[in-house]
Amino acid sequence: MDDKSTKRGVVVGIFVFIGLLIFVAGILILGGQKKTFMSSLGVVAVFHDIGGLNKGDNVWYSGVKVGTIKSISFMGHDRILVKMQIDKRSREFIHKDVIAKVSSDGLVGNKIIALAGGTAGVPAVEDGDTIAVATAISSDELLETLQVNNKSLVEITGNLKTITKKIADGEGSLGRLISSDTVYNDLKGTIASLQTTAQNTRRLTENLTDYTSKLQRKGTLAGDLVSDTVVFARLRSSMGRIESASKGIDSVMHNLQSASASVNDNLQSDKTPAGLLLNDEKTAESLKTTIRNLQSSTYKLDENMEALQHNFLLRGFFRRRDKAERKEQQRLEKEAEKQRKDSARAAQ
């Protein structure tokens, strides 16, 4: 009986000992997670809104847990003092110019304080330091923004639905383009014209390439003009002479214009013979009378010469003169015929 009681006591003692070990291990594990038994330093930050942050929540730096929240208290109307415990082993990596903001462990996880930033040249944080705070977007503001975006998306979807319905009904330029065969045929013809233009452009480019290659070919006029400096110098000299000749022609034309203006002035003046004939009516009438008298005298002279030719005293003289003229004419014709034959033989 005593052996059974002793055995039962030993078993109970073992179970109690194991329970105590589990309890101590749990305390040590939970204390390690909560940084209860760590060597820490205290820093504070003043927020306007902590968004549901609680005592005991974690403090992270660059995604690594470095401490916990020790206490939360009000300092004023919209000022909340948050005291944090930072592991001293992480102190050397956290500088005085870090920025603290309220964040979440995931999209909808527990609230945390996230430390970010810091400059390597700035000293590390010390016990009692106050950390600067950045304004963080709360979940309510994020949800409100998402709600506004959802309303805008619904409105955009409605507009797209209206636009696609109009296009399907053949309304507007795009709708007519899709549903109308005439517009499609016109567009097809335009594309064909553009293709023809592209082909013509390609042929023009090929022609230009061929012409360029000919310009570079030696022995041709274009090639000599482009590459031969002697030909180019001669061409430049010729252009200079042409320019000089052009200047001489301009001078001649100027002189002709001056002479024409002088002649015109003389013709308009009553002091010159030509101007007197053109502008003086009396002189013109006198000249006309003189011309009529000359015509009358010439006609009478012709009549007198005709009468002399029929006079028997002078008839022989006129016959001999006509005979001499005919002989001279025949001689000239023979010489002309001889010269023509000589030229023909020389050409053969």
Coil, helix or strand for 314? coil
Q: Which residues contact 128 (CB under 8 A, 6 or more apart)?
A: 42, 43, 44
The reported pLDDT for the residue numbered 144 is 80
The reported pLDDT for the residue numbered 348 is 65
The reported pLDDT for the residue numbered 227 is 63
* Residue 256 vs residue 74, higher pLDDT: 74
How big is the chain, counted in residues? 348
The reported pLDDT for the residue numbered 45 is 92
For 178-219, how does the pLDDT look when each residue is reduced to its tens digit (9 = 90+)? 666 776 777 778 888 888 888 888 888 888 887 777 666 666
| Number of Cβ within a 10 Å radius of residue 80 | 16
The reported pLDDT for the residue numbered 204 is 87
Question: Which of 103, 123, 28 is closest to 61 using CA atoms?
Answer: 103
Q: Phi, psi (5° rounding) for residue 130? A: -105, 125
The reported pLDDT for the residue numbered 136 is 61
Across 301-326, b (16+ Cβ under 10 Å) vs e yields eeeeeeeeeeeeeeeeeeeeeeeeee
The reported pLDDT for the residue numbered 36 is 52
Coil, helix or strand for 66? strand
Does residue 316 carry a pLDDT above 80? no
Per DSSP, helices labelled H in 269-314 are 273-279, 281-309
Domain boundaries, the chain: 39-136, 228-279, 280-338
Indicate the residue type of 232.
F
Indicate the residue type of 231.
V
Tell me, yes or no, if the pTM score tops 0.85. no
Mean pLDDT of the chain: 77
Mean pLDDT across 227-253: 75
For 116-136, how does the pLDDT look when each residue is reduced to its tens digit (9 = 90+)? 888 888 899 998 899 899 876
